[in-house]
């Protein structure tokens, strides 16, 4: 049995079937098989002789020095009571992102998340996460892998942020089920892309136009009502000071697209959304047995944020009081099939918003309108968030800039009291303000 220092020259001169054992590292050797030269380590693990394969010799694989260092590392693990073969087998069996994503959806997402959220997770995985990271081992994915993945989505920053959040949730769950060490989530401290808010805050004039459009859409159109509507649109165009070149196009876009009335369920849904600030799904799935008209609430057993009270102010109760009840259907807005809820909301909305001259307005913006009017009226962010069912205060704080400045209000009240103590008349302070303003 040849024993000498394994070098590149010795490896290249090794005959087929021969073995060289290294003179420096006990048990480290190389064997020339039919085609390849294979580095190996012969040692004892828990009293049993074992031969561990290090790898093939060659460019892009192992060389004498790198293989020797690996042999020394393996011997160190064995001295510490570890079995490198078992660790190697565990590493091979460890799941990659492809297989782990399927487990995450089955064992965590579907039992704990809303169906709509699960569908979005599946979409993000299919389009973004799996094509980029699917082959990476869950336990080996690093912060640089995640940073590279997120940087590659800078053209679609919102999708990039959502994909990063999903990946973070998956790898956090991997810690819980033992597929990664605790506190090893590589998605932490990856800076998200800035996102521009997309909500539309309606002005008082726009809300008035929306109210007129809902009122008009609930009635059948006639030649007289069309003419009256056009005249009103012309008046509003002049009030808005639209340029003459744009005025006719704006009026034409607001003319009705059908002769018949809009579906009463759609009109009721829009009005309930305005009066309650509810999510669309909460209104479309609302049932009569959940409503307590005396208390002015509806107890929703489930919503995006779990069970919640939907507050029904007088305007909402008035809408509900005018709706018919369908026998055999528990929904406030019944669908066309027995027991089903109404779903045909989008096309009526497109026609109503066109009548109002608000072509870009989304249904969800009605929820923002409720919140903005409440905050601008001086109601606290905490209470507004409670009404809307926000789980996090930061969700409501987007409207903070609309709230009256409480510090200025205190300063004004204090100044008025001081003026009274100084014997100044309120009319004098008002005249001074006008003088400064001018």
Rounded to whole angstroms, the Cα distance separating 195 from 198 reads: 9
pLDDT at 52: 86
Q: Minimal CA–CA distance to 167: which of 154, 140, 179, 149?
A: 149
Q: In what order do the strands lie in the sheet with 291-292?
A: 291-292, 297-300, 308-311
Which residues contact residue 14 at a Cβ distance below 8 angstroms, ignoring those fewer than 6 apart?
20, 30, 32, 37
Are 320 and 286 in contact by the 8 Å Cβ rule? The answer is no
Question: Which among 159, 156, 162, 129 has a CA at the least distance from the CA of 145?
Answer: 129
CA dihedral (185, 191, 197, 198) in degrees, to 10, reads -70
**Cβ atoms < 10 Å from Cβ of 182:** 8
Measured CA distances, 218 to 161, 262, 276 (Å):
41, 6, 20
2-93: CATH, from 2.60.40, 1.10.150, 1.20.144, 3.30.160: 3.30.160
CB-side exposure of 22: number of CA atoms within 13 Å?
22
* Measured CA angle at 318 (ends 317, 320), to 5 deg: 60
Is it true that 2-93 and 97-176 share their CATH fold?
no
pLDDT at 436: 43
Domain 97-176 carries which CATH code?
A: 1.10.150
Q: Determine the angle formed by the axes of helices 365-376 and 381-388, rounding to 10 degrees.
A: 150
Give the separation between CA 90 and CA 241, rounded to whole angstroms.
73
pLDDT of residue 321: 93
State the pLDDT at residue 393.
73
Give pLDDT tens digits along the chain (438 positions): 568 888 988 888 888 889 999 988 999 999 998 788 999 999 888 878 888 888 889 888 889 999 999 899 888 888 878 877 666 766 666 789 999 999 999 999 999 998 889 999 999 999 999 999 999 999 889 999 999 999 999 999 999 999 999 999 999 999 999 888 899 999 999 999 988 766 678 888 999 999 999 999 999 999 999 999 999 999 999 998 999 889 999 999 999 988 999 999 999 999 999 999 889 999 999 999 999 999 999 999 987 777 888 899 999 999 999 999 998 899 999 998 889 999 989 999 999 999 999 998 999 999 888 888 888 777 777 787 777 777 777 677 777 666 666 666 777 777 777 777 777 555 554 554 444 444
HEC string of the chain equals CEECCCCHHHHHCCCCCCEEECCCCCCEEEEECCCCEEEEEEEEECCEEEEEEEEEECCCCECHHHHHHHHHHHHHHHHCCCCHHHHHHHHHHCCEHHHHHHHHHHHHHHHHCCHHHHHHHHHHHHHHHHHHHCCCECCCCCHHHHHHHHHCCCCCHHHHHHHHHHHHHHHHHHHHCCCCCCCCCCCCCCCCCCCCCCCCCCCHHHHHHHHHHHHHHCCCCCHHHHHHHHHHHHHHHHHCCCCHHHHHHHHHHCCCCCCCCCCHHHHHHHHHHHHHCCCHHHHHCCEHHHEECCCCEEEECCCCCCCEEEECCHHHHHHHHCCCCCCCCCECCECCCCCCECCCCHHHHHHHHHHCCCCCCCCCHHHHHHHHHHHHCCCCHHHHHHHHCCCCHHHHHHHHHHCCCHHHHHHHHHHHHHHHHHCCCHHHHHHHHHHHHC
Q: pTM of the full predicted structure?
A: 0.63
All structural domains of the chain with their residue ranges:
2-93, 97-176, 407-437
């Amino acid at each position: 049995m040849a024993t000498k220092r394994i070098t590149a020259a010795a490896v290249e001169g090794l005959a087929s079937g021969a073995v060289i054992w290294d003179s420096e590292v006990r048990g480290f050797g190389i064997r020339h098989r039919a085609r390849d030269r294979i580095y190996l380590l012969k040692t004892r693990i828990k009293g049993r002789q074992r031969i561990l394969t290090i790898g093939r010799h060659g460019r892009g694989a192992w060389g004498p020095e790198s293989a020797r260092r690996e042999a020394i590392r393996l011997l160190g693990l064995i001295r510490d009571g570890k079995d490198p073969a078992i660790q190697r087998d565990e590493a091979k069996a460890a799941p990659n992102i492809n297989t782990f994503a399927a487990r995450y959806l089955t064992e965590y997402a579907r039992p704990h998340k809303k169906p709509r959220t699960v569908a979005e997770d599946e979409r993000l995985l299919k389009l973004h996460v799996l094509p980029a990271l699917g082959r990476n081992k869950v336990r080996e994915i690093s912060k640089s892998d995640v940073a590279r993945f997120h940087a590659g989505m800078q053209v679609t920053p919102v999708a990039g942020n959502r994909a990063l959040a999903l990946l973070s949730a998956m790898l956090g769950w991997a810690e819980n089920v033992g597929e990664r060490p605790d506190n090893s989530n590589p998605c932490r401290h990856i800076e998200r892309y800035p996102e521009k808010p997309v909500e539309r805050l309606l002005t008082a004039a726009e809300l008035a136009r929306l109210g007129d459009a809902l009122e008009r859409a609930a009635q059948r159109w006639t030649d007289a009502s069309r003419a009256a509507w056009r005249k009103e649109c012309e008046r509003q165009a002049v009030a808005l000071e639209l340029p003459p070149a744009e005025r006719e196009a704006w009026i034409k876009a607001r003319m009705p697209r059908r002769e018949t009335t809009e579906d009463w369920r759609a009109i009721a849904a829009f009005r309930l959304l305005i009066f309650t600030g509810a999510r669309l799904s909460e209104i479309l799935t609302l049932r009569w047995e959940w409503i307590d008209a005396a208390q002015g609430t509806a107890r929703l057993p489930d919503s995006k944020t779990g069970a919640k009270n939907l507050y029904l102010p007088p305007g909402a109760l008035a809408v509900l009081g005018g709706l018919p009840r369908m026998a055999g259907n528990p929904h406030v807005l019944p669908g066309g099939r027995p027991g089903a809820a109404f779903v045909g909301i989008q096309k009526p909305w497109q026609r109503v918003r066109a009548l109002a001259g608000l072509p870009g307005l989304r249904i969800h913006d009605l929820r923002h309108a409720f919140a903005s009017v409440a905050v601008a009226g001086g109601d606290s962010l905490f209470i507004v968030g409670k009404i809307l069912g926000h789980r996090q205060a930061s969700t409501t704080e987007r409207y903070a800039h609309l709230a009256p400045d409480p510090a200025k209000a205190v300063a004004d009240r204090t100044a008025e009291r001081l003026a009274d103590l100084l014997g100044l008349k309120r009319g004098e302070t008002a005249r001074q303000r006008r003088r400064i303003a001018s």
